[in-house]
Structures are given as structure tokens and as C-alpha cells.
Amino acid sequence: MIHATAEPLAPQDPQLSPLSFRYGVVGLSHQTADLNLRSRLSAACADAVAVRSRLTELGAEEFCLLSTCNRLEVYTWDCLADTVLSSLSQLSDIEESSLRRASYALHGEPAVRHLFRVASGLESAVLGESEIMAQVKCAWSTGREGGSVGPRLERLFRHAVVTGKRARTESGICRGVTSVASLAVREAARCAGGLEGRTVLIVGAGKTAHRTAKDLARHDLGQLLIANRTEENGVRLAAEFGARAYSLDELGRLLEVAEVVFATATSSDCLVTEEAMAGALRARNGRPIVAVDLGVPRNISREALSLPGVQSIDLEALQSLCGENSKRREAAIPDAARVVEEEIGSFAETFLESRVAPTIESLIRMGEIVRSDCLDWVERRMGVLSDREKTIVEDLSRRIVKSMLQSPIEGLKTHSRHERYPEIAAHLFGLSAKELDYAE
């Protein structure tokens, strides 16, 4: 369960948790904020360059934005929750106090656990849904390409994807209806009295549109229409599913002929206004239309969805249906949660090893330098050695260095959770800061 907090995040005592590192997450989800607030924030954060610029200005070292129809989260390294909330408030013109009330902030191990649970589908509105894995990968890739994901978040998101895959493989968490798109298609079919022979319109050509088209392909539609702003993307999607592609400029005419419409576009503007829908209804001569709005922000205005003759389904309506579908998969929650906890342990181990690895590598290099110097000293004093003598002397030098370094290396591994231990060891052995590129 997510807990909201308005307090700045503080570092944990390194004695308490192996994951007392500086990972953090600040976000809003379907559990804490209504669709209207999420839509406003999502629209403001659609410009990835502006988000990156604002967070960088305020001192965020590494960060990754995960934005879906049900959540908007910023994962960070070494960054206070206040910094993220201030950035989101400035970008969206939403009062910071309003964001605080609707948001949650987690730090250290709880932040890692949250991402692993998100990737596993345990925090989704549709329990175990499959879309979130692709969205986590997309956020990771976008952050890496934009330069905001560095080595720390790279390690975190890579392990999150591994966790999500394993949770789905080893539990029944993804059994049954496992995406918002598939649930939307099912509900639309129920409202329309079946989709066989129907004219169906998809607005948008992104990932949600593709998933919707894929689920619709299981039904014997009369015809499938695709309306999209970018012609190339619309044509590509239409070609894959045997549909017809149109420009968004023709949306009004398409609403007159479609019996079911799925609005899936990512747009800061409302694509179907009350006026546009009213005009389409007049031209339909009383024929009803099923309108499914999967957009965040909304693609179809509330007023348009409320008109007589419109049977509406939006994300909030779909969320209310999720309880019934989730019950079938609730039995798998303990198995999926077990995987998450095991992977947190594995991630902690990897993280701690990476923290002491530079010191251990420097110790080994130092040992090799000392060993090489000693071998040169022996050759200068003993003259030319036979092959057998060389082998004996080299083996002896290796044994001495290995014995001397064994205890400090084991100590570093044993006490790796103590943040200053590698630094103290480096100081004691005279290792320079330049050659110790700490991997925290």
C-alpha cells in the first residue's frame, strides 16, 4: 500500500537497511488522485525536455519520469521530495499544496519496492496488467536517451524489468484480462450488444491504440477506422490490422458513421468537444454511439460524454470494474510479492557489491604493483633466475599478496552496507580518490 507524505525525505540510518541508498519516488496514481488532477499533470509533463530542464535546474542528479493513464511518478537519485513537487507544481500551475495532498513520496528501500511492485502489476488498477511493463521500459529508455538516467537509475530499472518478468512467470498475477485496453474492448462489446459487424473507430495510433486494435482483431468487425494526427503512424497501424486510415481533420465525419469509438490519443487538447459530438449525433438520426475515452488527458469532454445517445466508458468507470476482474488473480498476490522481496534482496546485494567494487579493484591493483616491484628487486639482487626459480618466486609473491589482501577484501564485502567503510579502507591503504570511482 502507498502512503502519502508531505515531509521532505531524509536519509535512513545505514545500520538499519542494506538499501539505505538515495533512491526516491514522488508520484500520483489512481489510488491517490482523481482523473482530472492526473490529466492536468500528465498534460504539463508531456514535454519531456521541459521536465528535464526544470528538475536539472533544481539540482536533481538522476531522474526518470513514468507517465501512464493511471500514474505519474518521478524516480530520482539523491533528490528531496520537495524538489520534485516544486518542479511539478511549476510545470503544471497546480498549487503545490494540492499536489502534496494527492501524492506519495518514498525513499530508499520502500522506493525500490514500489517500482518493483509497479513493474510486476501489483500496483495497477487492473491487477497484473501487462501494459505497465512496456511503459516502464519506455520510461527507462526515454530517460536514458535524454540523459537523465545515469548508472544508478539504469541499475534500478534494469532490475525492475527482471522482477516484473519473473513475477508474471512464477505467479498467476497476469491470468485473465490483464490490460486496460482489453477490459475497455470487453465493456464496449457489452454496451454495444456485441462488436460483430460494427463500425469501430480508434482515435490515435500509439501503444494504447495498438493494444486496442489487437483486442478488437478477435471480433468480426464490420470495419475498423483509424484517425490520427500523424498520417504515417495512422497508415502503419491501419495496414497492420486491415483498417482504413484517416486524418484527425475528418474526425467529425467519422463520428457520424462509427458505432463504437475508442479515444486513445496523447493530446493536451480535447479532441471531441460537446459541440462536435452533438453535431455527430444529429447526423446519426438517433442512432446511439458507444464512446470509450482512454486518453490522459481526456480526449472526449465530460459534456460530450454526458449527451443523450452517448453510452460512455472512461478510465474512472473502468477502474470501478477492476475489482471483479482482480478477484480471480488475488490468490497469486503472495507469490508475486514473494518474488518482489527476493529481488529486492538480490538488488541490495548487487548494489552493495558495486559500492565496494572500486575499492577492492584498487586494492588488487596496488597489490600487483607491490608484487611487481618486489620481483624486480629480487632479480636485481639474484641475477638471472632459472625458469623453475622464477616460477617459485612468482608463486610465492602471489601467495603473500593474496594472504595480505584476503582479510581487508572480506571485511569490505562484509561491511559494505556501511557507507563510509570503503572510504576508510581506501584511506588506510593510501588509495587515491581519483582511481576510486564509486559506483553508488
Secondary structure (DSSP) of 317-373: HHHHHHHHHHHTTGGGHHHHHHHHHHHHHHHHHHHHHHHHHHHHHHHHHHHHHHHHH
User: Which residue is catalytic, options 45, 64, 69, 79?
Assistant: 69
Strands 223-228 and 199-203: parallel
Give strand pairing partners of 221: none
Task: Give the Cα separation of 206 and 46 in Å (integer).
Answer: 14
Task: Give the Cα separation of 223 and 259 in Å (integer).
Answer: 10
Cβ neighbours around 372 below 10 Å, total: 11
The sign one gets for the Cα dihedral 134, 135, 140, 143 is positive
Cell readout for 378 is: 629480487
Instruction: List, in order, residues 6 or more apart from 200 with CB less than 8 Å away.
Output: 216, 221, 222, 223, 224, 225, 258, 259, 260, 261, 262
Secondary structure (DSSP) of 126-158: STT-SHHHHHHHHHHHHHHHHT---HHHHHHHH
The sign one gets for the Cα dihedral 297, 298, 299, 303 is negative
In the block, cell 500520483 appears at 28
In the block, cell 545505514 appears at 14
Looking at residue 45, its amino acid is C
Please confirm, yes or no, whether 79 is among the known catalytic residues: no
Strands 62-67 and 71-77: antiparallel
Cell readout for 178 is: 490483464
Task: Give the Cα separation of 75 and 63 in Å (integer).
Answer: 5
Cβ neighbours around 52 below 10 Å, total: 18
Task: Give the Cα separation of 74 and 118 in Å (integer).
Answer: 13
The sign one gets for the Cα dihedral 218, 265, 38, 26 is positive
State which H helix or E strand residue 25 sits in: strand 23-29
Contacts of residues 433-438 at CB distance under 8 Å and 24 or more positions apart, as own/partner, are 435/358, 435/362, 435/365, 436/358, 436/359, 436/362, 437/358, 438/355, 438/358
Closest CA to 25 of 110, 88, 101: 110
Annotated catalytic sites, by residue?
A: 69
